[in-house]
């Protein structure tokens, strides 16, 4: 039986950081490259819930997530291609974080991840 070095950490996080951590972990596990700015944009969207695209772009720009509404739109388009964001509607598109990600954004949140790496016995 393989021996495993176990590391346990308990950390209290604020809502922004725990939501951001969940999204970052999802992206890491799926090998999706996202920048820190993209991650902040997705976190902002997760916390805001479903909303009109134009309104989100304006709000994200005012909150200095990106420097312009067009940069926010570009980030949302990239995220949509990676199945992180869903767009619905015609002229007034609604956007939201993909619910399949199962990102928790309210109430008390406890994340219980277990990751393991086991060397082969031939090493």
pTM of the model: 0.91
Structural domains in the chain (count)? 1
CATH number at residue 74: 1.10.10.10
Specify if 53 maps to a domain: yes
CA pseudo-torsion sign 48, 53, 58, 60 = positive
Specify if 54 maps to a domain: yes
Specify if 6 maps to a domain: no
Specify if 62 maps to a domain: yes
Specify if 39 maps to a domain: yes
Specify if 109 maps to a domain: no
Mean pLDDT of the region 23-27: 97
State CA 123 to chain mean position distance: 36
Which range of residues forms the domain containing residue 90? 35-101
Residues 26-79 pLDDT 10s: 999 999 999 999 999 999 999 999 999 999 999 999 999 999 999 999 999 999
The reported pLDDT for the residue numbered 3 is 82
The reported pLDDT for the residue numbered 37 is 96
Specify if 107 maps to a domain: no
Averaged pLDDT of the chain: 94
Specify if 21 maps to a domain: no
Structural Rg of the chain based on CA atoms: 17
User: Does pLDDT of 21 surpass 60?
Assistant: yes
């Amino acid at each position: 039986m393989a021996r495993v070095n176990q590391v346990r950490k308990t950390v209290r996080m604020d809502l922004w950081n725990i939501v951001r951590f969940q999204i970052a972990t999802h992206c890491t596990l799926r090998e999706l490259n996202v920048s820190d700015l993209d991650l902040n944009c997705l976190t902002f969207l997760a916390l805001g819930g479903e909303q009109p695209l134009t309104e989100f772009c304006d709000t994200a720009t005012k909150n200095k997530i990106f420097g312009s509404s067009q940069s926010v739109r570009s980030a949302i388009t990239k995220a949509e291609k990676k199945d992180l964001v869903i767009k619905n509607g015609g002229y007034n598109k609604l956007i939201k974080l993909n619910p399949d990600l199962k990102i928790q954004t309210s109430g008390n949140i406890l994340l219980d991840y277990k990751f393991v790496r086991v060397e082969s016995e031939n090493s």
